A and B are shown apart, each in its own frame.
Chain A
């Protein structure tokens, strides 16, 4: 069964450094998402992406964050200057184009900012 893949599985970085989290969505999916989950808390929406542009973003997704689909397969989340509070599990998700289709999640990247 096709799946969303994310790399790396764990990223440790120092405060103020830039990180790029990578995702390969399922090939026939057209909507792409980034969510994050701070340990013990709910899954929080960051951004959705469709037709090569951001379709929605949350208050969390400020100027420090950006997303890109640099080629036909990868979908990346960049955090320009990491803060301690950015430490979380980051999930990429994708879904097909039908209105009610569910999200399919990748295995996540655990980001630790020290």
Chain B
């Protein structure tokens, strides 16, 4: 069974702070890693993806991947109240299937 684990939270950070979201995965053959944001009652929305070890930055978001530790994280700098949502980690292994974690609920307090 291929598992993707996330802390369910809730994670609360003050506005302007850095939010750090973590994800671990069980399938060592996993190739690509995705972060989605999901507002309540809405569909997942792609934030960013990462394939190679190290950091990848896109605006206020930074994804970090460590394949040896089977760990991927998302940092959100200068957090805004509009960032309050559930963040889903998704992992694609060698097939076509994407596995999702249960998500981490983030609340940014004004």
Chain A residues at the B interface, C-beta cutoff of 8 Å: 31, 33, 35, 41-45, 48, 50, 55-56, 91, 99-100, 102-108
Q: A41-B102, A100-B51, A102-B34 are in contact. List 10 more A-B contacts (CB 8 A).
A: A31-B96, A42-B102, A43-B88, A43-B90, A43-B100, A102-B46, A105-B36, A105-B45, A106-B43, A107-B42
We find that the number of chain B residues with CB closer than 8 angstroms to chain A is 23
Are the CB atoms of B31 and A100 closer together than 8 Å? yes
Are the CB atoms of A45 and B95 closer together than 8 Å? no
Chain B residues at the A interface, C-beta cutoff of 8 Å: 31-32, 34, 36, 42-46, 49, 51, 88, 90, 92, 95-103
Q: How far is the CA of A41 from the CA of B100 in the complex (A)?
A: 11
Most chain A beta-carbon neighbours within 10 Å: one of B32, B42, B43: B43
Given A43-B44, A100-B51, A50:B96 Cβ within 8 A: yes
Q: Choose one: B44, B96, B102; the contact of A56 (CB below 8 Å).
A: B96
Are the CB atoms of B32 and A100 closer together than 8 Å? yes
CB distance from B58 to the nearest CB of A (A): 13
